[in-house]
Amino acid sequence: MFRKLFTFEEAKKAIEKHFAVKPLGIEEVSLLEAYNRVLAEDVVAPLDIPPFNRSTVDGYAVKSEDTFGADENRPVKLKLCGVVNVGEMPKIKVEHGTAAEIMTGAPIPEGADAVVMAEDTERKNSDIYIYAAVAKDENVMKAGADIKRGETVVKQGQILGAREIGAIAAVGLSKVKVYKIPRVAVLSTGAEITEPGKPLAQGKIYDINAYSLSTAVMESGGKPVYLGVFPDDPNEIEKALRHALTSADIVVTSGGVSVGPKDVIPKTLSFLGKPGVIVCGIATKPGKPTTIAIVEGKPIFALPGHPTSALLIFHLLVRQIIECMAGRKTVEAATIRAFASTRMFPARGRRTFVMVKIKRDESQRFMAEPVPVGLSGAITTLLRADGFIEIPENQQFVDAGEGVTVHLFKNLENIRV
């Protein structure tokens, strides 16, 4: 097993080399269950919308030339030949000298080519007086005027919201092809780790990572398969990983990846299948022990045990792979520009990610204030940081007052500053 640290970019390239990141597949779902799914093929209108010439007003359907010359002083008189209701196909025909009463949205009857608005008419028994001329097609929405048969209504790749789902319903489809949701197995390891809800024996602590990472999977458009907590036992870990590989498309573990004698994850990964471990440690801080393997064509990300490190590396390396497998365009996390509140040093030779809290200074400028990561604040760091800044390997430091780009964990609107 090699122990050369990869740079962040080398780690990404190694993944790309051994694993073709692409959408997982396509499934058909009911349109009512398609919210927030990603459309897997263009939706093409199978019919004209509207499907027929339609009145846009309440009034009288006429032959337009019968109304020529009509005005307020010299109305044209037509004979009522019937009524056209909404939702019915008209059985009547409008001949010269006649008019059909028509409702908004009803189909234009045969023979008519325009509609006179009710307010421009007067009715006396079956005589209709027309007080305004109409041009051909006036107050008529032609078949296909909104969408033509064969036209693309919503494009492949679109995330489906209220407007897109309404438009797909409009062309008559009740089902829609969307990208499958990748299943991501999540498990934690460590002799001291206990599942929440169980009694806590002395010397043990509760698991954080399987919960935070399962949720991060959902935030990325995947479906977590929660497998729970496993002790540092090679047989148990091997069994758990084999089970994970059969029940999911990606596996994410945390803990058990340092160099200690109990760090069984890298050892187990090295004999589970080919090519096995492709990245064994990355030159970042935090996240150095991160180990990545490909087994049976599925990626396994073994993240560090520290909760903030695990979630950060998930954001940097795993999130985009889940998004891509889910057919989602990878959206870079939102960023804002801020000023460093203090001088910050990178770890020597490692790309350093500093967790920061966003504050405002007295002139209302955004300030990025480091939140210490480390054993001293596993949970408080997780909750207090609004995002992180990245310091390149070759940079000496970020100076106090220097402008920095903060990658936000969530939208700035949800951050109280």
In the stretch 168-207, what mask flags binding to a copy of itself with x, by CB under 8 A? Answer: xxxxxxxx--------------xxxxxxxx--xxxxxxxx
Question: Residue written as tokens 């028994």?
Answer: 125
Q: What is the C-alpha R_g of the chain? A: 33
Among 19, 21, 29, 31, binds a copy of itself (CB under 8 A): 31
Query: 3-state class of 64 per DSSP?
Result: helix
In degrees, rounded to 5, the angle at the alpha carbon of residue 12 between the alpha carbons of residues 251 and 183 is 25
The burial class, CB within 10 Å (0-12 / 13-18 / 19+), for 374 is exposed
147 binds a copy of itself (CB under 8 A): yes
Among 212, 253, 268, 291, binds a copy of itself (CB under 8 A): 212
Residues of span 62-91 touching a copy of itself by CB under 8 A: 85-90
Stretch that binds a copy of itself, among 240-248, 266-274, 373-381, 400-408 (CB under 8 A): 373-381
In the stretch 269-308, what mask flags binding to a copy of itself with x, by CB under 8 A? Answer: --------------------------------------x-
Determine phi and psi for 141, rounding to 5 degrees. Answer: -100, 120
Among 374, 395, 397, 399, binds a copy of itself (CB under 8 A): 374
* C-alpha to C-alpha distance for 117 and 72, rounded to whole angstroms: 14
Residue 228's nearest CA partner among 204, 198, 199 is 198
117 binds a copy of itself (CB under 8 A): no
What spatial distance separates the first Cα and last Cα of the chain, rounded to whole Å?
Answer: 47
Could you tell me how many residues make up the chain? 417
135 binds a copy of itself (CB under 8 A): no
> Across the strands, what pairs with 93?
110
209 binds a copy of itself (CB under 8 A): yes
Stretch that binds a copy of itself, among 51-59, 68-76, 122-130, 267-275 (CB under 8 A): 51-59
* C-alpha to C-alpha distance for 347 and 13, rounded to whole angstroms: 23
210 binds a copy of itself (CB under 8 A): yes
Stretch that binds a copy of itself, among 1-9, 140-148, 276-284, 362-370 (CB under 8 A): 140-148
Residue 267's nearest CA partner among 14, 59, 1 is 1
Among 50, 75, 111, 157, binds a copy of itself (CB under 8 A): 50
376 binds a copy of itself (CB under 8 A): yes
Stretch that binds a copy of itself, among 13-21, 211-219, 263-271, 360-368 (CB under 8 A): 211-219
Residues of span 315-334 touching a copy of itself by CB under 8 A: 331, 334
CB 178 within 8 A of CB 38: yes
